[in-house]
Amino acid sequence: EEDCPQNAAGAEPASGQDTEKTEGVASQNGEEEEEDDHEHSDAKDELQSGSGSETKAGDGKAGEGEAKVLKFRVTCNRAGDKHSFTSNEAARDFGGAVQEHFQWKADMTNFDVEVLLNIHNNEVVVGIALTEESLHRRNITHFGPTTLRSTLAYGMLRLCNPQPTDIIVDPMCGTGAIPIEGASEWPSCYHIAGDNNPQAVKRAANNISSLLKKNENKESSTSSGIPLDIIQWDICNLPLRTGSVDIIVTDMPFGKRIGSKKKNWDLYPACLMEMGRICTPGTGRAALLTQDKKCFAKALSRMGHIWRKGQTVWVNVGGLHAAVYLLRRTWERAEEKRSFW
């Protein structure tokens, strides 16, 4: 079994709530385990924290002629094992500085502005949340053990610069995060996806059904379907014509929750070979996500005649340091295993 049972898959991750007073400022933690994401690492901790005294609802409302005092909270996401501070401490100290600089009031629940503090090893990105909820689960209702964040799926697709009428394939689609994002955001392309695990294919089909239902309920929607087909297949033997695919975007087994590092030594070269066969020589491109970088590099070195490596984008997947490799299909003919395609 490579996937986990249906009922467990849809469950929300466990979270623990704790309220504490630190150095005279109120803070609140909600540690969230990324169960639905990739392999979880202890290095990642994600929680929300604010600093400054708690304010009651209604506080900070401007009276006539008075300027409104903004209420804020800081949410910190931290990944990396060399930090001498927790995300709670980072959020608290950063919140203190924001409060002092802008004279805003901290409020954990009734805030106007959510300040995001994303710390990844020695890199810090500060932002303002534009949506109330994170968009990383948009369009997905049936989760699997390694469901990819929709936001990352979108980024991978975008790196391939899809053009109208392009055929885009995810040959190891799991619950379908990549093709569903693709079909929603690039509806002029045709998306095909598959997986060798029947349970994963079922979940992907359920996610498509939910999306169709959601679209039906939208008054403004005129769409009568989404340009996406899902089938069960083995990536080493795809039922697709040679040179027929413009773009391949996939999230490969890391060898932790799905498969094993040992299996990857056979799987990765076979994947690159078969993906090279279906992809259009000269113009075809691929964005492949993996954390098993050593195995990927070795496999790619054997397939250098059909794939040329471009940019590598480093990403944090559930606390793991993973890479999105952008590849370009060379003009070289790929090996034909069968004559009938």
Ligand X SMILES: C[S@@+](CC[C@H](N)C(=O)[O-])C[C@H]1O[C@@H](n2cnc3c(N)ncnc32)[C@H](O)[C@@H]1O
In the complex, the residues that contact ligand X under the rule CB under 6 A are 2, 144, 146-148, 172-175, 177-178, 195-197, 200, 234-236, 251, 253, 258-259
| Closest separation in Å from C-beta 194 to ligand X | 7
| Closest separation in Å from C-beta 231 to ligand X | 11
For helices 177-185 and 150-159, what crossing angle results, to 10°?
60
Task: Please say which residue, 174 or 284, places its beta carbon nearer to ligand X.
Answer: 174
Task: Please say which residue, 25 or 295, places its beta carbon nearer to ligand X.
Answer: 295
Q: Give the separation between CA 33 and CA 289, rounded to whole angstroms.
A: 21
| Closest separation in Å from C-beta 37 to ligand X | 9
Helical H segments across the chain, by residue range? 6-9, 87-102, 150-159, 177-185, 198-217, 261-278, 293-302
CB-count exposure of residue 89 (10 Å: 0-12, 13-18, 19+): middle
List phi, psi (to 5°) of 287: -125, 115
Q: How many CB atoms lie within 10 A of CB 69?
A: 16
- The answer to whether the CB of 173 falls within 8 A of the CB of 230 is yes
Task: Please say which residue, 21 or 337, places its beta carbon nearer to ligand X.
Answer: 337
Task: Please say which residue, 221 or 260, places its beta carbon nearer to ligand X.
Answer: 260
Q: How many residues does the chain have?
A: 341
List, as one string, the DSSP characters of 229-285. Answer: EEEE--GGG-SS-TT-BSEEEEE---SSSSS-HHHHHHHHHHHHHHHHHHBPTTT-E
| Closest separation in Å from C-beta 35 to ligand X | 13
Task: Please say which residue, 172 or 189, places its beta carbon nearer to ligand X.
Answer: 172
| Nearest residue to ligand X, by Cβ distance, number only | 174
Task: Please say which residue, 75 or 139, places its beta carbon nearer to ligand X.
Answer: 139
| Closest separation in Å from C-beta 340 to ligand X | 20
Task: Please say which residue, 174 or 269, places its beta carbon nearer to ligand X.
Answer: 174
List phi, psi (to 5°) of 229: -120, 140
Strand 247-251 vs strand 167-170: parallel, antiparallel, or unpaired? parallel
| Closest separation in Å from C-beta 295 to ligand X | 14
- The answer to whether the CB of 55 falls within 8 A of the CB of 107 is yes
